[in-house]
Amino acid sequence: MTKTSGLGNDIALISRVHVDGPGAVEALAHDLWNFLLPRVHPVLAPLQIVCIGTDRSTGDCLGPLVGSKLSSLGSFPPGVRLFGTLDEPVHAANLDDYARLLQEDGRPSFVLAVDACLGRSENIGYISIKDGPLKPGTGVNKNLTEVGSAHLIGVVNVGGFMEYFVLQNTRLSLVMRMADVIANSMAAVLGWYWEYFHPNLCMDEKNQKPMPLLHADGWAAVHAAPSSGE
């Protein structure tokens, strides 16, 4: 659980949509994909998704809900890992363990953190993609390990006073709608990731090194995915 203030002049802000806005899933998916495309690679920079929060708090269960919805897809493209579900949440008590797990193989990766957020009343219901690490726990005045190369947050309620009480009295219907928008947009991104990398990435099995992408220039013609220049 993090917190945010005004979002209007935030230079780290990549995208912002309202959960009930028209085309929210499509807009968030396109913006997230265009942001990730130059930064991830199945071998050179694997994508690791960390959904932070706990199922013991209505307001703070956004991350685990998203993780569970994504987990229900059954399989992920090569080079993608998911951490944090309702059954196995990533929270304050085990965050350091997962931070070490993200770095266990020693190679560079791109970590996308997903978390709930407290903010101003006028920002409730907004979902944002931001560059840079997430600072979990700030919404409840905790100083926890920073996580992520970038983060995706949803403002679930008002911050600034009685944070634990506010989290416990957050509308589950709002959290569920936000989880649906985030999970559906990320599912679309994972589909585009698979189309872009998996059919074209060949491995030199003898040396275990990535060979050049084939037909990469023609990928923008794939009708289901936005081009990186949109």
Q: Residue 158 sits in a domain of what CATH number?
A: 3.40.50.1450
C-alpha of 133 from chain center? 11
Residue 83 falls inside a structural domain:
yes
Position 41, amino acid: H
Q: Which of 2, 28, 8 is nearest to 129 (CA)?
A: 28
Across 118-127, 161-170, 175-184, 195-204, least confident range: 195-204
Residue 116 falls inside a structural domain:
yes
Range of the domain at 128: 2-221
Average pLDDT over residues 17-44: 95
Please state, in angstroms and rounded to a whole number, the distance separating the CA atoms of residues 161 and 2.
14
Mean pLDDT of the chain: 82
Cα torsion 176, 101, 204, 214: sign? positive
Average pLDDT over residues 179-184: 96
C-alpha of 108 from chain center? 18
Direct distance between the N- and C-terminal alpha carbons of the chain, in angstroms, rounded to an integer: 32
Residue 230 falls inside a structural domain:
no
Residue 148 falls inside a structural domain:
yes
Residue 137 falls inside a structural domain:
yes
Residue 228 falls inside a structural domain:
no
* 2 CB-near residues (< 8 Å, 6+ apart): 115, 116, 117, 118, 134, 135, 136, 137, 138, 139, 153
Cα torsion 169, 29, 14, 114: sign? positive
Q: Is 189 exposed, middle or buried (0-12, 13-18, 19+ CB in 10 A)?
A: buried
CB atoms within 10 A of CB 157: 24
pLDDT value for 167? 87
Residue 229 falls inside a structural domain:
no
pLDDT value for 14? 93
C-alpha of 46 from chain center? 14
pLDDT at 77 over 60: yes
**Domains in the chain: how many in total?**
1
pLDDT at 98 over 70: yes
Residue 227 falls inside a structural domain:
no
